[in-house]
C-alpha cells in the first residue's frame, strides 16, 4: 500500500469506494497539531470535485492503469468510436462520458486511452496542444485595435473560444488545453 507521501498531481486513487484523480494536494503541518494532507479530488463517475483532508502518512489505494494510443474514428450520435493503434480493436464509448474531450478532437486524431487493470476505459486524454480551424468568426470592427479586445469564434469541432480580434474565418489556431480557457 502507498501512503500520502506518494501522492502526485494527476494520479488516480480509490477514495471512499470510487476512483478519483488528484487535482491538487498540499502537506500541512500546523504548529503543534498532527500533520495532514489536504486533497482536491475529481470523481471519475460524476465529475464532481471534492476537497478532503487526511492524516499525513495514512495509506491510500493507488489505481493501477495503463495507457494506449488510439485513433478517433467517428461519432454515431450515441457513442464515440476509437481504434487501438496496436491491436486495431475498435472501442465504443458513450458520447456523454467523453463529451468534454470531443470538443477538441477531429476524426482521425490520435488520443490516449486510460485503461484500468481490467481493461475498462476510464478516460480519454487529448493532446496538450491542438490546432483547429476557425469556421465562424465575426469581422473585426475598424477601430478595435486595442490589444485587449477579444471575440468569440467557433471552431471546426463545434467548440467556442475567445481569441484576439484579428483572427478571421479560415484561420487555424493552436490551443493549449492545459491553460484555462476564458
Over residues 29-42, mean pLDDT? 89
User: Average pLDDT of the chain?
Assistant: 86
The ranges assigned to domains in the chain are 2-62, 67-127, 130-176
Number of H helices, E strands in the chain: 1, 15
Burial (0-12, 13-18, 19+ Cβ within 10 Å), 128: exposed
Report, as an integer, the average pLDDT of 57-73: 89
For 87-119, the pLDDT digits (tens) are: 998 999 888 888 888 889 999 999 998 888 777
The pLDDT of residue 145? 60
Q: Which CATH number fits domain 130-176: 3.20.20.140, 1.10.150.120, 2.40.50.140, 3.40.50.11890?
A: 2.40.50.140
The answer to whether domain 2-62 and domain 130-176 are alike in fold is: no
Q: How far is CA 42 from the centre of its chain?
A: 11
Is CATH 2.40.50.140 what the domain over 67-127 is classified as, yes or no?
Answer: yes
Q: How many CB atoms lie within 10 A of CB 175?
A: 17
What global pTM score does this model have? 0.71
Residue 180 pLDDT: 66
pLDDT, average across residues 66-71: 90
- Tell the burial category of 33 from Cβ atoms under 10 Å away from its Cβ (0-12, 13-18, 19+): exposed
**What kind of architecture, by CATH, is found in domain 2-62?**
Roll (2.30)
Q: Nearest 5°: CA angle at 161, between 158 and 162?
A: 150
Amino acid at each position: 500500500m502507498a501512503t500520502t507521501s506518494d501522492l502526485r498531481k494527476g494520479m488516480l486513487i480509490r477514495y471512499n469506494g470510487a476512483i478519483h484523480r488528484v487535482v491538487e494536494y498540499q502537506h500541512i503541518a500546523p504548529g503543534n497539531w498532527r500533520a495532514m494532507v489536504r486533497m482536491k479530488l475529481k470523481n471519475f463517475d460524476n465529475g464532481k470535485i471534492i476537497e478532503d483532508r487526511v492524516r499525513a502518512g495514512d495509506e491510500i489505494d493507488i489505481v493501477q492503469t495503463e495507457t494506449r494510443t488510439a485513433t478517433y474514428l467517428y461519432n454515431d450520435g450515441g457513442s464515440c468510436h476509437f481504434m487501438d493503434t496496436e491491436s486495431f480493436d475498435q472501442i465504443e464509448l458513450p458520447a456523454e462520458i467523453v463529451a468534454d474531450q470531443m470538443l477538441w478532437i477531429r476524426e482521425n486524431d490520435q488520443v490516449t486511452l486510460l485503461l484500468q487493470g481490467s481493461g475498462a476505459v476510464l478516460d480519454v486524454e487529448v493532446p496538450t496542444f491542438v490546432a483547429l480551424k476557425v469556421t465562424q468568426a465575426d469581422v473585426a470592427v475598424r477601430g478595435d485595435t486595442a490589444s485587449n479586445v477579444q471575440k468569440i469564434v467557433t471552431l471546426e469541432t463545434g467548440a467556442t473560444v475567445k481569441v484576439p480580434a484579428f483572427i478571421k474565418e479560415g484561420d487555424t489556431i493552436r490551443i493549449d488545453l492545459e491553460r484555462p480557457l476564458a
